[in-house]
Amino acid sequence: MEEILLEKHDVIPPTGFGTYGRNGKEGIDAILCALETGYRHLDTAQTYDTEFEVGEALRRSGLKRDDIFLTTKISTDNFGPDALIPSLEKSLEALKVDQVDLTLIHWPAPNGRIPLEVYLTQIAEAQVRGLTRLIGVSNFTIALLEETEALLGKGKIVNNQFELNPILQNKKLANYCQEKEILVTCYLPIARGMLSNEPVLLSIGEKYGATPEQIAIAFELAKGYAAIPTSGQPERIRSNFKASSIMLTPDEVARIETIDRNHRVVDPDWGPKWD
Pairwise CA distance, residues 235 & 58, whole Å: 20
Active site residue 208: no
Catalytic residue among 39, 48, 176, 187: 48
Residues marked active site are found at: 48
